[in-house]
Structures are given as structure tokens and as C-alpha cells.
Structure 1
């Protein structure tokens, strides 16, 4: 067997067969590692500065429950079909039209990869007191180094997560314990008054939007789930609990120390070494998942089963973007993601449950149209409404895209029915 086939047993262009499915521990821990992300804690820090303790907890629970539910529905579809989001895109966007979703999903993931690569290099230079000249070389080292476990595939992601996730949980709980003590216990936490202001819908947008692109592509792992129950529960565990913990940890530190940066919080707590370890593990467990997502989208885009090579190409692009200053673009990037990614999930769900009555045909051997204009039009409407919405943009994008798909699907059904009748009459 060739090296390529050894590396590409993650089925980037086909359904995952029953014999390769994983249990809930494996699936959940990979998703946990994926959602343990520094940017999410940073978003939590912004919320912690703007709300009191009770409101912060309510915002975290509400936002992450919606995020977990979204990931769980897509996870259910992925498990039942064995397909990931980019392969589902062939059905709802068309054989050629799906390249749009391939590009968008790949772009978002390589953007996250660039941000993570830049962030860890910059923070380490600052924390270790190194010369700024070290920043670019470290970006190159981390840019390619983080991709190694993704290059191996699902097994590499699983192994790293089994080591890193428990370690990060211990460090974060340790930090929360110290913060609670420094705040004066629960009484002290409840007495803290916010210094900034933020609307409720903006808080939900931050919580939901920070990782909605990840939830859309979590199908890369939930399609490996042994059964639909495993897919749904692992999605809820990873996104409601895992992402929720990241939001709460970031908000907690911001409330107590008035500092939204969790690494700086841990330094203030006297945990400098732990902060360095936590940052490294935190970013690595997300980086390898992120570049794995890029490779999945890239394989479908070029219709080539070359996951290993595309992983390295993505790492190279991410490294170049990191060197170019991606670390300064987090907030604009999050706003963009909240508009362009959620409608993809909305179209996928509407196409699967409404357009196809909950069942995809086998991908191989199925003739698909070059463009599915119902799906593409529904996506465009959903993305435009999300971008213009003053409310929670990701939720607007999902809902409008799904509803638009249903309406356009019915319009097409009526039109085709009339054309068929006209042909019979003729």
C-alpha cells in the first residue's frame, strides 16, 4: 500500500464505512480538544467585562446550548450519511457549486490556523523575554509543527487530545480555584459590577459566532461516530460543555482581574509556567483540527485524495498569513465568519431533512447537477440577511437560509410539475 493511501484512510472523498466508526469517548475527546481554544476564552473575557456574574453565566449557557444544538443536528446528519459538510455540499450546492462551500470553509479554517500560529509565537516571545526577531522563525516552526498530528489523521488528533485535554482541564480548574479565592468567594463574584457595556444579542453573537465555523465542520469527526446517539451526545459535550467552559473561564478571569487575556490572568495568578503549557496545548489541539478541516475542504475542492499534501499546503498558507499580521484581525474575522458560514449549515439541514426526506443516496455513482440553484440561492439570501442583521447574525443566517431553501424548493417543484404537464399536453 502506498504512503498516500496509508495517510488518507480518513475518507476525504467518500462515506466513512461502518468498520471505521468510533465510540463516544474517542469522538468526544477530539471535539473537546477542538473547542479548547484561546480565541474563545478571549471572547469570554469581553463578556466578563460587560456583565455581572449571573448574566454572564446565562449568556454562556444560552449561547453554547444553541451552538451545541447546531453542531448536534449536523453531527446527526454526518453520522447517518458518513459524509462531512463539504461532501454534503455536493448534494445541496451541486457538483461544481459545492466548490463555493469548499472555498469558504477552507478559508475560514486556514484563517484560524494563521491566527493561532501568530498568537502563540507572539505570546511566547513576550512571556519568555525573547528578542522580537524570534517571532517570525517561531511562526514558521509552529506553523508546520502543529500540522503533524493532522497529517497523520484522525488517529493523530485522537492521541493528542487524550493527552492534552485532561492536562488543560486540570490547569483551568486550578486557575478558576485561585480566581474564586481572589474574588472573595461566590459572594465576592456576585458583588462585582461590570466596567464595560454590551447588548445581549452581541453577547450571543460572540458566544455562538466565535466557533460556529468549527461547529459547521465538526462533521469531519462526527461522521466517524458509531451511531447517531454518539454523534449527538459528543457534539453536545464538545460544544455545549467544552466551548462553554472556554467562555466561562475567559469571563471569570476578566471579572476578577479586569483582564480579558487568560494567559495574562494566569501570569497574575503566579502560574506563568502553567500558562505557557496551557497556551501551547490549547492552541495545538485546535490547530491540528483546524488544518485537518482545511485539508478535507481542499480534497473536495480539487477532487483529489491527497489529504497529507493538502495539509502541508494549508500549513504553509497559514504560516504566511500569520507572518502577514493575522493576529490583529480577530474581531473583523469573527464578524465575517458569523455571516458567511452559518448559512451553509442551514442549507445542509434543510436539504437533508426537507429536500431529501432524511436520506442521501450513495455519493459514488450518483449523478448530481453542476449547480443546485435552490441551495446556492438560499445560501446567498441567508448570508446577506446575516450580514445586514442587527440581531444575532449566525442564528439569522441559519434560519433564513433554511427557510429560503424550503420556499425555493417548493417553487422549483411547482415549476417542474407545470413543465411536466405541459409536455404531456403537447
Structure 2
């Protein structure tokens, strides 16, 4: 039987006639960042920082995410390649599998968090055992991911306005309960954290999603269009989600979004809207995980990933902040190496992928990625920036030394 066409172009270069306007793609990009987990992050951040420090953290985090993502989107829309195919130039033909495995594992991890976020409030309403709900919802989300791009757009069209309405409704209740905006702003929060941690938390929540923007912006026939959509998506959706989470936390004094929703008597409505939100995001997560796997193996991997993600649901949810720390020391490095390879090593010009002689494994990229992660973990400051800067520096210096002295690695 003839193999179905790879509609998402994850395995090959997009040619000019394959590209399209990003109108529908922007719906998917918004859906990636309009995720209830980001409100959970905002609540955790809001309970630790004063309002002024919170605003600074979100603004600076947004700027860093925008610069980082825009550079990757520029490369993607210019070359017509996804993040996985771009990694072949810097990590090598086989070395790029490391990128695929790491990003795929992270998407499955977010799937786990999403399943928990759907099952836990549902248990409060129905009384059905949490394990049963996790298994059923994980199975249904896995099935949904089979429908791929078209189903994601349809879910996104339904999700985005409903989720914004939910957030505004919840914020409205919070403001009303404290007696208005003036009273809300007079609430004094004890600052037990610092701005560096706040910025790191903001970046960690969204960096894996924004990296995967390249899977969609490579469709763009215009680099300016791609960058405009990134600006809109990153600035609006991230700021909106953190705003919702922060206001609710300030008003109620709890950072767990589910406790807040329960206290506001919105749980039934949330179950309905959360179903759309989590299913949309988790369909994306399974769909984008391990994109190098070809059909029919890819469909089998979707099932395996769904099962694994479901099994690890509670573990990852209960260690949510630790999960974000892992993202901060592992994800920024990959993008930084790709950016350095394109703009510095190759002077903003790649030869066509099919005409390029690729290394099997670029050891320098692997070493640089690991070194950047270690620097991010052990050095003070903003962890993801440390990861980006040191990974890029290690990669650039070692690559130039290898070329100059003809070192074989």
C-alpha cells in the first residue's frame, strides 16, 4: 500500500509551492502557549515575588523568549526546515537523533502534566478514582493525536476564545471578591524569591513550545510574516496566561490554579474548557514527539508515547517545578547551538540539505550542549541565559579550533 504523504513536512524540505500563509498556523501557535500549566507557573511565581518583581520577570522573560524564538523562526522560514532537520547541520546526521529524543521526551513529559491537570479536577467533581481518570483521559488524548494538523486547527478555533473567556471570568471573580482593582493592588505579597528565578521560571514554562514553532513557521512564504506571528503569539499569550495566574494568586493567596477554581465555584465549567485545552495541547505534544520516526512506525510511537506519558503523569505533576528546572538546563542549549551554527559558523547561509555532506555525529555539538547545561545548573544568575550563552560560546570556539587546526573528533 502506498505510504500517505507527510502532510506536516517533518522529514523533508519545504519548497516554495509547499509554503502557505500563517493565518491558520497562528491558531496552533496560540494554542501552544495558552496552556493551563502556564497559569500554574504564574501562581508559583506570584506567591514568591512582589507585584513589581513579577512584572519585571514576565517582561524580561518575554523579551528573551522573543529574541530566541525569532532567531529560530527566521532560520526556519528562510531554509524551510523544522527544528529537527536544522539540527542535522550542527549535530550531524545521527547526532540529530539526540535532539529528536530530547525534544520528544519533553513533549511526552508535558503530555503527562496535561493528563494530570485534566484528571485531578475531574476527580473532585465525579469522585471517580484518579487512576481510572488518568488512564481513560490519556487513552482518549492519544487517539485524538492521530488526526494531526486538521484536528489541531479545529480544536484551536474552539479553544482559544473559550479559554480567554475562562481566564477573564476567573480574574473578574477574584477582583470582585477583594473589592476592586484598588484593593487588589494594595495586597502586600511577601517576596521570598528573586527576579532571576522568576525570569527562569517564565522562560522554562514556554521555551519548549516556542522552539517547536519552527515546525509550523517553516510553512511561511514570508520571513516578516513569520516574525510578526511570533511577536503576536509570544507577547500576547504568555503575558495573558501569567496575568490570569498572578491576579488569581494575589486575590486568593493560593498558587494552585485548581484550588482557586474550586473556591470560585467554576469547576464544572473548567472541566469542559479544560478538556479542549488539554486535548489540544496534548495532541500537539504527541504529534510533535519523535518526528524523525516515519510511518507506519510513527503511529506506533504515538501509542507508546501516550502510554508512557500516562504512566508518568502523577510523578511529573507532583514535581512540576523540578520539571521546569530540567527544561531550563536542557532545552535552551539546542536552539543556541543551531543559532550559532547558522549565523556565526555558516554566515547565515546553509547549502541545501540534500546536497550537504553531513557528519554522522558532531561531537562538538554534544559536548557544547552538555557544558551549557552544567553551567546553567551550577552557576548563579538566569539559568536559561547561562545555558544559551555558554553552549553557543563552546560550540563556536571549538568548531573554529577544529577547522583551524584540522582536529578530528
Task: Give TM-score, length-normalised by structure 2.
Answer: 0.93
Q: Is the 1:72–1:233 contact (alpha carbons within 8 Å) kept by the matching residues of 2?
A: no
Residue 320 to residue 220, structure 1, CA distance change in 2 (3 Å): same
Counterparts of 1:105-120 in structure 2, within 5 Å, are 105-120=103-118
Query: 2:370 matched to which residue of 1?
Result: 380
Query: 1:408 matched to which residue of 2?
Result: 398
Could you list the per-position Cα deviations for residues 258-285 of structure 1 after superposition, in whole angstroms to 9, with x for gaps in the alignment?
1212233233223222222232222222
Query: 2:272 matched to which residue of 1?
Result: 277
Q: Is the 1:263–1:275 contact (alpha carbons within 8 Å) kept by the matching residues of 2?
A: no
Distance in 1 between the 2:143 and 2:89 partners?
A: 32
Query: 1:48 matched to which residue of 2?
Result: 46
Matched, 1:217 2:212: yes
Distance in 2 between the 1:232 and 1:305 partners?
A: 34
Shift of 1:149: 4.4
Query: 1:193 matched to which residue of 2?
Result: 188
Point out where structure 2 has 5 or more consecutive residues left out of the alignment.
none
Residue 366 to residue 408, structure 1, CA distance change in 2 (3 Å): same
Query: 2:249 matched to which residue of 1?
Result: 254
Distance in 1 between the 2:259 and 2:270 partners?
A: 8
Counterparts of 1:121-140 in structure 2, within 5 Å, are 121-126=119-124, 128-132=125-129, 135-140=130-135
Distance in 2 between the 1:111 and 1:371 partners?
A: 26
Structure 2 residue corresponding to 1:39, chosen from 19, 37, 40? 37
Distance in 2 between the 1:196 and 1:124 partners?
A: 33
Query: 2:332 matched to which residue of 1?
Result: 342
Count of aligned pairs = 408
Distance in 1 between the 2:296 and 2:251 partners?
A: 49
Q: Calculate the aligned-residue CA RMSD, in Å.
A: 2.1
Query: 1:25 matched to which residue of 2?
Result: 23
Distance in 1 between the 2:252 and 2:232 partners?
A: 29
Q: Is the 2:118–2:271 contact (alpha carbons within 8 Å) kept by the matching residues of 1?
A: no
Matched, 1:332 2:322: yes
Counterparts of 1:160-179 in structure 2, within 5 Å, are 160-179=155-174
Task: Give TM-score, length-normalised by structure 1.
Answer: 0.89
Query: 1:10 matched to which residue of 2?
Result: 8
Shift of 1:154: 2.1
Distance in 2 between the 1:149 and 1:243 partners?
A: 25
Could you list the per-position Cα deviations for residues 343-389 of structure 1 after superposition, in whole angstroms to 9, with x for gaps in the alignment?
00100100111112222222234321112233222212211111212
Residue 149 to residue 236, structure 1, CA distance change in 2 (3 Å): farther
Larger mean CA deviation between 90-99 and 361-370 belongs to 361-370
Could you list the per-position Cα deviations for residues 215-261 of structure 1 after superposition, in whole angstroms to 9, with x for gaps in the alignment?
22221112122321222122222222212211121111100111212
Shift of 1:196: 5.0
Query: 2:347 matched to which residue of 1?
Result: 357
Matched, 1:370 2:368: no
Point out where structure 1 has 5 or more consecutive residues left out of the alignment.
420-426
Distance in 1 between the 2:360 and 2:320 partners?
A: 35
Distance in 2 between the 1:46 and 1:326 partners?
A: 16
Q: Is the 1:12–1:307 contact (alpha carbons within 8 Å) kept by the matching residues of 2?
A: no
Distance in 2 between the 1:206 and 1:156 partners?
A: 31
> After the TM superposition, which parts of structure 1 deviate over 4 Å for at least 4 consecutive aligned residues?
303-306
